[in-house]
Chains A and B, each alone.
Chain A
Amino acid sequence: MNLTKVFTKAIVTSPERQQEADADFMVVKKVQAGDVAAFDQLILKYRERVFGVVYNLTANREDTSDLTQETFIKAFQSINRFQGHCSFFTWLYKIAVNTSLSHLRKNRLRSFFSLEKIQEDGTNAQLLEQLTDKNGADRDTYLHELQQKLNEAMQKLSIPHRTVITLFEIDGLSHSEIAEVVGCSEGTVRSRLHYAKQFLQGELGKYIRS
């Protein structure tokens, strides 16, 4: 356990992330030792987060499914190269982002949005109540309209800006983790984040209060 802490302390910031990274590294060691089934634990743990990253970058649910699977296959094939210099989820995010960016570059001219339905579970209920008039009859219509406007605004951002704001605001990664995933400095991450927020506020001005 101490060994994994030495390897992963550079990127992981919070204690919770550190524990998570250590646990992941133990599972990775099992997979590297030949326990292929142990990789399923990592898939179950990270599939929704990887799906979210890819989905917010591509805005297409069919492509997202394929790209998420491709991400896990790549990770599985390259698991022996993972040596714990960064946390497993940072490494996995890096694969997901690179796979998505490669897909976006290949299909630059094709922009077709197919959005997932917003899941109204307990965690989102309060937010949805804030966003919509809870007594209004056209609540679903308004939510759909808001979702579409948000996606359109996101897709207007350049790929690096979209990546940064997705990882920071939606996935909750820190600046240093984003810098590790994207492969740039923290200053660049902050700069891109600032620009992306300014752009989105301009695009979604009538829906948000400044």
Chain B
Amino acid sequence: MSDSSQRPKVTLEDLLRLKRAERPDAEFWGKFERELRQKQLTALLQKRPWWQELPQLLARRSYLPLGATAVLAFTLVSIKYYAPSQLAQEETRLNDSATVAGNMTVTSSAISPVTPVSSALLNRNDQAVSRLDDRTALAAMNVEMPAADQNIEVQMPQMVAPKEIETPSARSIAANLARLEQSEPELINSVVGNRLSSPARLQTASLQVNDLASMPTSASKRSRLLAQYSDRQLAPEPTAPAIVRERLSRRLGDPDLYDRISRLGVRGDAVSLKF
């Protein structure tokens, strides 16, 4: 080690400038060039992975509109198929209301083909039930269901049975049916089930409807339940045998009744009966 105290001192900048003089010789650069050329050829032949080309592709201006369109399309598809839960609930509610409306239309149209006697009886019963249905369902809809359930309100008038026509024939049919209910309750029960106009059954039905109406469920669920209930009430009984139904209709038919009544004569203090 030399004696550095006797050496001339320089600045730090001069000393650092000395570093510029640390350079390799010409032979080194010859070797460097050969190696670099070889590596350059290898890099030219080497296939680069696609993710390294991605920034270059994105940087091209011609791809910008295409990319923007793709992003927009993807966003729209995402919004359509992966909507938030609120939209999904709204959609479910709309579907429910459509189902209820469809059920109501079907059941109201199914009332018409029933025979005149049963339709008159059912009308009386259905009128009461449908009034209850209307009141509860409409109350529920007015309170809880927004504009999405307006279809139900539009469809509800179809549920309302036509006004009862108080014809003599209908009155006599009702009387006959009341007698028949007392004499053969099983037969009546098997044929028409709980559709009779007995006050107790009517009261039970109204209580059931009230219970349903007071349930703290959502409007759609309540409407669905009410629709199911009314459907069950108005649909023809599937368990009633065909023979019994035919016999009953024969016995209660208008020509038969007219024939029976015409054979009964009342004159002053005498009653005549034709056989």
| Chain A nearest CB, measured from B75 CB (Å) | 28
**Alpha-carbon distance A133/B3, docked complex (angstroms):** 11
- Binary CB contact string for chain A from 123 to 164 against chain B (1 if under 8 A, 0 otherwise): 110011011110000100110011100100000000000000
The segment out of B13-21, B108-116, B172-180, B254-262 that lies at the interface is: B13-21
Min CB gap B229→A, angstroms: 72
Overall SS of chain A's interface: helix
With contacts A80-B56, A208-B9 taken as known, whether A150 is within 8 angstroms of B24 at the C-beta atoms is no
Residue on A nearest B14 in the bound complex, by CB: A127
Q: Closest approach, in angstroms, between the C-beta of A99 and any C-beta of chain B?
A: 13
Residues of B within 8 A of A55 (CB): 22
Is there an interface contact between B35 and A131, defined as CB atoms closer than 8 Å?
A: no
- B1-42 CB mask vs A (1 if < 8 Å, else 0) is 110111111111111111111111100110011011001100
A22 to B39, CA, bound (A): 28
In the complex the two chains form, is A147's CB within 8 Å of B18's CB?
yes
Interface size class of A (residues with CB under 8 A): 35 or more
Interface bits B234-246 vs A (CB < 8 Å: 1, else 0): 0000000000000
Identify which of A48, A73, A200 contacts B39 (C-beta below 8 A): A73
Say which residue of B2, B24, B25, B44 sits within 8 Å of A138 (CB atoms). Answer: B2
Chain B residues within 8 Å of chain A by Cβ, number: 38
**Taking the complex as formed, is A43 at the interface, i.e. its CB lies under 8 A from any CB of chain B?**
yes
Q: Smallest Cβ distance from B8 to chain A, in angstroms?
A: 6
Chain B hits for A121, CB < 8 A:
21
Instruction: Decide yes or no whether A81 CB sits under 8 A from chain B.
Output: yes
A130 and B56 form a contact (CB under 8 A): no
Inter-chain contact B4/A206, CB cutoff 8 Å: yes
B41 to chain A, nearest CB (A): 10
Name the residue in A138, A150, A165, A200 with the highest tally of chain B Cβ atoms < 10 Å from its Cβ: A150
A133/B36 in contact, CB under 8 A: no
Q: Cβ of A169 and Cβ of B32 under 8 Å apart?
A: no
Q: Which chain B residue has the least Cβ–Cβ distance from A131?
A: B10
* Chain B residues whose CB sits within 8 angstroms of the CB of A145 once the complex forms: 1-2, 4
Cβ of B2 and Cβ of A165 under 8 Å apart? no
Does A182 have its Cβ within 8 Å of any Cβ on chain B? no
- 0/1 string, A89-130, CB within 8 A of B gives 1: 000000000000000000000000001111111011001101
A18 to chain B, nearest CB (A): 23
Residues of A contacting B8 in the complex (Cβ-Cβ under 8 angstroms): 130-133
B59 in the interface, Cβ–Cβ < 8 Å? yes
Distance A66 CA – B29 CA, assembled complex (angstroms): 12
| A-B contact list, 9 entries, CB within 8 Å | A43-B33, A52-B19, A55-B22, A69-B36, A73-B39, A81-B55, A117-B22, A141-B2, A208-B14
| Contacts beyond the supplied A133-B7, A147-B18, A147-B22: 5 A-B pairs with Cβ under 8 Å | A47-B32, A65-B35, A131-B18, A141-B2, A207-B4
Q: Which 4 A-B pairs have the closest CB atoms?
A: A209-B9, A169-B16, A116-B22, A124-B21
The residues of B with any CB-CB pair to A shorter than 8 Å are 1-2, 4-25, 28-29, 32-33, 35-36, 39-40, 43-44, 48, 55-56, 59
